[in-house]
Structure 1
Amino acid sequence: MGEYREIITKAVVAKGRKFTKSNHTVKPLHNPSSILGCWIINHTYEAKKIDKKVEINGAYDINIWYSYNNNTRTEVVTKTVEYCDVIKLKYRDQDCLDEHDVIAKVIQQPNCLECVISDGNMMVVHVEREFIVEVLGDTKVIVHVYPERDHENDYDWGFDVDDDDFEDLDPDFLDKNKDK
């Protein structure tokens, strides 16, 4: 075992990815005539590991601009939506010593695919989102050690000064700065 060393380091020990489509129903104050626009803002989320899965709890605001009263008036309706995405993990290191942190990255922010009028007075919003998660943990790495390596060459990086390095020096540099 003299030629090998065991190093404990933090590494990605598990990963997961999930794409989600969802539908949300919004009831406006007035019966809509047409949808003029729909956008999603204020997305927030938090991820935590539970057993062999990561749970992402988040929320976002859906804003729908619509017309009513036979397309003579407009209004914006807002609805805050909460969600919980559970992402299965695929482990690379089954013998991980300790799992520390969960990193969740948004690949696709919540995005409105379509907004339609349903039953005359309701609006249905089709939303997509996608996450990738990584779990960091302590793991053991075994490395080969070369004990007979020539350590004197470690300090020879070629930093010696050559005569060519002195060609651009101005010998009167100090004398010019004296008068100032």
Structure 2
Amino acid sequence: MIVPARIDYALRLLDPAPSEQVLEFGCGRGVAAGLVCDRLTTGTLLALDRSITAIEHTVRRNAAHVESGRLRAQCAKLDELGSLVAPASLDAAFGVNVNLFWTGTAEPELAALAEALRPGGRLLLCYGAPPPGSTRRVTGVIAASLTAHGFTDVVEHDAPAGSAVSARRRP
């Protein structure tokens, strides 16, 4: 399987540990979900998407991970996360090409992530390689929004494979 550069880049930045509790929002067809689960031993991944078709693809592609208990896939919106996980239970959360963080305020979604991440938990928002000169337009908006919503250690990343913003939940 050929892994898209943006997904490979996101996983290098996220670098999930084998025992972590991880959330992927906007899981699409489940490519990143499978790669994260390949790294997990005692940890788990919750994969969310608003599309039932995407969830069905994720489950089919990663049937062995679902069967092992490492992967749970759920059709839900990110702002519904509080009904799916306990507060402060996630070590890391990430999304690849989830545009709502730079096209709007994403206030309910950021509030849900802040509640679900443990203190110091990691958040990563990653995007495919943008057109030359436009990276800052996307990452700058996201970085400012994360800071305004109380996230710390906000860092903008830029590489040929993509752009990203990483942050931590306030300790």
Fold conserved (TM > 0.5)?
no
What TM-score do you get using the length of structure 2 for normalisation? Answer: 0.19
- Highest RCO, 1 vs 2 (Cα 8 Å, sep ≥ 6): 1
